[in-house]
Structure formats: structure tokens, C-alpha cells
Amino acid sequence: MTPRSINALTIGGSSTTGAAGVEADLKTFTAFGVHASVVVTAIASQNTKGVQKIFYLPEEVVSQQIDSVFSDMQIKAIKIGMLGNERIAQAVLDGLRRWRGGNIVLDTVMTAQSDGSWLIHKESIKEMKRLIGLSTIVVPNTFEAEKLAGVRIKNVNDAKRAAKILKALGAEAVVIKGIEEDDGISDLMLHKNFRIFKKEMIGTGTHGGGCCFSSALAACLAKGLGIENALEETERFMEHAVENSIRIGSGIEAVDPTASLIINAERYAVIEDIRTALKELEGCNKFSSLIPEVGTNVVYALYNAREVDEVAGVVGRIRNAMGRPKSLGEIEFGASSHLARAVLKMMEFDSSKRAAINIRLTDANLAGCRKMGLRVSHYDRKEESEDIKRREGATIPWGIENAVRKARGIVDVVYQSGEVGREPSLIIFGRDARSVVRLALKLVLPKG
């Protein structure tokens, strides 16, 4: 039996950038696993530098679209974006009343971020206030909140006053976005109580950010989350979308609502690659002779990884279990700190070297690496400064950088001979987990 989808509706303008308006909503709903139905109110001829022209659809066309959707589909949540003019706003208001739409997120779109162009007729603000009375959550930025509440917003306290005024119009919750203060930027929520979400200021612009924010809220409501949990999930989602903004034109950058999908897909691929590599490694009993006393690990970093928790490895490492290599735990991100830091530092020199395996340091293993044509370098822990020794986790990145500089170029293998209380080590770097494991397996000496 075909499962029933979770349906949500976006009502708003279409943008030629493909990164704002209903196009951004479609991507956001998809990222949350929610099916998107669409009611288009206007068509904006727009690029990342500004809005050139807007065509507003006749209100009867907007009304018919609403009837077409609700007469056939079970809509779990509604996101309202750009309305355009008072006739369209009235048509949306009447349609939602007619069909008793619920879980409404109202994004009070007034201007374009790219150039400040007005996207609605100012006369439609009256209808927008009436829509607030139907809304579960109303999501203005500070400029829009000022226009709707009649309060100048210079700080969080001003935003609190504005939020109370807007909530009094009938919304269950109000989220005022982008409150700028000396220590950064914040989003303020008023539901049962006030909550503040602080974040870093983004100087590059966030084309489509408001659309993605409000549609993420609607998607969360459609999936059954409560208002506050929906906002928490939306803030996390937007962090990824903004961090992975893309340049699609010569103007401001566009947020990428599919970033979480791409990241999740990549995380799955990385873990599966390590899992495949481990099967090959554990299938070779002779590999146990290469496992050092501290154990072996295989790690693989996400593309553009910068933190240890963006590098996957084996929990508990791989040990010699009575002559057989055996991984002791699951494959998880952040499982290895030492080897992960080695990979992260190597990626600074060559971003393609995202994987590594550590093995026992022997003359035979070094000779075998060179025989395979791998470029080898080393570092000496005796050269490590007291400052490096004192800093937690600084030794391995220092060592990798030292080895690369000694070689005056990118290397495939880095070793260090150890010191009192520190076991020697040899690390093989490569493009993925399977490739480094296969290189290591070539070092296993045949019997006899």
C-alpha cells in the first residue's frame, strides 16, 4: 500500500533566481521530507542584485489555486510568503477561512533583501495584519515588525515590545528575526515566554534566507512538532543552509536549503566507505601484524571538514584479537581524535587526502611504502616546542605540518619514531578509506 505523504502548502511569489520565494520553499520542504503544494501569487523578475519587475496574478487565479489544493489534498501546514497587493491578500485570507487552514506560518514579506525593493503594495499591510490573526506563527524581520507594530526596533527590548503587539493581533507565536546589537544578531520568539537565539552576523547576504526560515517552520509543524521545538529545529537547519551559502550570480549569496540533504548523504557515504574498507581489512588475518600497541584506526573526513566531529572513524579502534584484526566498536563521526586531527591538518595542504590509517612503524613497512611509490616524510617529537606540548591536541597537527614542510611538498606517508612513553607511528593518507586500507594491506608480508 502506498504510504500517504505529509503535505504542506506554500503561498507566495515565484523568483527567477530559483533561490527565493516558492522555489526556496519547495527545496526546504523537500529537505524535511514534506511534499510541497504551491499557490503562486506573483512572478518576480529578479536576480541576486535586485528586482527588475513584478507581475501580480489576478486574485481569482490565486483563489482558484487555493480551492484546487484544498479540495483534494490534506494540508498539514501552510507557509504564506509574498502576497503582492491587497486583492491577493484578501483572496488568501478568504481562501484560508473558507477551507479552515491551520498551522499557518506567515512570513510578512515586504521588501527584497538584495536591493530593498518593495515586493508588496503598502496598502496590503492592513490585510496582512488580519492574516496574523489566523496564524500559528508570524515571522517578520525587524523592518517588517516595525511597520506592523509601529515600534522602532533598535535592540532586543524594543523587539519584545513589538512582539507583544503582534501577538495581541491573534498569532500563537511571534518570531522577530535579525535583531542587530553590538554583540551580534538575534532572533526573538514570543510564545508562552520570550526566547532569544543568538547567532553570528553574516556579511555576505542571505538571499532566500527568510523564505527558507519560514518554510522550515511550516515543515516542522506539518510533521507534528510543537511551536518551540519547530523553532529549535529551524534554527539548526538554517545554520547549515547559511554556512553553505552559494554564489549563483554577481550579487549577494544565496542560502542553500538542500545543504542538510547533501551533508546527510555525504555522511552516509563516508560511513559506508569505512564499513567496506573494514570488511577487507578484517578479512586479512595477516594485517594483525601491522597493528600497533595503541591499535589501528581508519578515518575518513567529510568534504571541507574542519572539526574532529566531521571525521568518521572506528570507536575503540581495531585490535589484534588472537591473530585476527577486529574492530571493537561502531563507525561514528568524532570517534578518533588523534588520527582525525592528522587528516584535518593534511587536508589544509591537499584537500583530496581525506582519509588515513595508522599502522606499526617498522623498517619493512617504510621500505614497502617507498616501493609502492608513496612519498614519505617524518617529524621528530624532540623538535616539539614546550608551547606545542602544553596545548591539548596540538602535537599531531604540528607534526604533520612539520613533515610536509620538510618534504617541500605533499606527502602520502608520515611517520615519527616516538620517544619515552610514546609509541612510534606510521600514517598512510589517501582519498578515501578503501584506498588507504588497500595500501596498508599491500605491506603485509607473505608467509615463509
The DSSP line for 267-312 is HHHHHHHHHHHHHHHHT-GGGGGG--TT-B-EEEEPTT--SGGGEE
Q: pLDDT tens across 79-88, in order?
A: 999 998 889 9
Alpha carbon distance 378, 74 (integer Å): 64
Same domain for 221 and 343: no
Cβ(101)–Cβ(136) under 8 Å? Answer: no
Same domain for 172 and 44: yes
CATH of the domain at 47: 3.40.1190.20
User: What pLDDT score does 240 carry?
Assistant: 82
Q: pTM to 2 decimals?
A: 0.72
Q: pLDDT-derived band of residue 61, with 50, 70 and 90 as boundaries?
A: very high
C-alpha cell at 1: 500500500
Partners of residue 197 on adjacent β-strands: 187
User: What pLDDT score does 403 carry?
Assistant: 95
Residue 101 lies in a domain: yes
User: What pLDDT score does 389 carry?
Assistant: 74
C-alpha cell at 100: 479552515
User: What pLDDT score does 203 carry?
Assistant: 61
Domain boundary among 195, 227, 257: 257
Q: Which of 356, 402, 347 is nearest to 377 (CA)?
A: 402
Q: pLDDT-derived band of residue 3, with 50, 70 and 90 as boundaries?
A: confident
Same domain for 219 and 343: no
Cβ(342)–Cβ(396) under 8 Å? Answer: yes
Same domain for 161 and 220: yes
C-alpha cell at 71: 479540495
Residue 447 lies in a domain: no
Q: What is the DSSP letter of 116?
A: -
**H/E segment holding residue 436:** helix 433-441
Same domain for 308 and 426: yes
Domain boundary among 257, 273, 300: 257
Alpha carbon distance 34, 30 (integer Å): 5
Q: pLDDT tens across 356-377, in order?
A: 999 999 999 999 999 999 999 9
Same domain for 416 and 391: yes
Alpha carbon distance 255, 21 (integer Å): 12
Alpha carbon distance 66, 92 (integer Å): 8
Whether 205 shows a pLDDT value over 70: the answer reads no
Domain boundary among 257, 275, 306: 257
| Domain limits for position 112 | 7-257
Mean of pLDDT over the chain = 90
User: What pLDDT score does 189 carry?
Assistant: 94
Cβ(338)–Cβ(298) under 8 Å? Answer: no
Alpha carbon distance 199, 235 (integer Å): 9
Same domain for 276 and 210: no
Q: Which of 44, 36, 42, 40 is nearest to 78 (CA)?
A: 36
Residue 117 lies in a domain: yes
Same domain for 227 and 343: no
Same domain for 270 and 253: no
CATH of the domain at 390: 3.40.225.10
b vs e for 101-129, b when ≥16 Cβ sit within 10 Å of the residue's Cβ? bebbbbbbbbbbbbeeeebbeeebbebbb
For the stretch 238-245, contacts whose Cβ atoms lie closer than 8 Å and that sit 24 or more positions apart, written own/partner, are 238/209, 238/212, 238/213, 239/199, 241/209, 241/212, 242/202, 242/206, 242/209, 245/202, 245/204, 245/206
Q: What is the mean pLDDT of residues 283-289?
A: 94
Q: pLDDT-derived band of residue 322, with 50, 70 and 90 as boundaries?
A: confident
The residue assigned the cell 574532529 is 308
Cα 207 to Cα 14, 212, 291, 424, distances in angstroms: 14, 10, 51, 51
Residue 446 lies in a domain: no
User: What pLDDT score does 421 carry?
Assistant: 64
Environment class of 27 (CB within 10 Å of its CB; exposed 0-12, middle 13-18, buried 19+): buried
The residue assigned the cell 533561490 is 19
User: What pLDDT score does 113 carry?
Assistant: 65
Q: pLDDT tens across 324-350, in order?
A: 999 989 999 999 999 999 999 999 999
Spell out the residues 6+ positions from residue 58 whose beta carbon is closer than 8 angstroms to its own. Answer: none
Alpha carbon distance 10, 153 (integer Å): 29
Same domain for 267 and 249: no
Residue 74 lies in a domain: yes
Q: pLDDT tens across 420-434, in order?
A: 667 899 999 999 999
C-alpha cell at 180: 542587530
Alpha carbon distance 352, 65 (integer Å): 49
Indicate the number of domains in the chain.
2
Residue 316 lies in a domain: yes
Q: Which amino acid is at 342?
A: A
User: What pLDDT score does 115 carry?
Assistant: 59
User: What pLDDT score does 79 carry?
Assistant: 97
User: What pLDDT score does 446 carry?
Assistant: 60
Residue 2 lies in a domain: no
Residue 362 lies in a domain: yes
Cβ(353)–Cβ(333) under 8 Å? Answer: no
Same domain for 296 and 229: no
* % of the chain surpassing 70 pLDDT: 94
Same domain for 317 and 298: yes
User: What pLDDT score does 278 carry?
Assistant: 96
User: What pLDDT score does 448 carry?
Assistant: 40
Alpha carbon distance 148, 166 (integer Å): 7
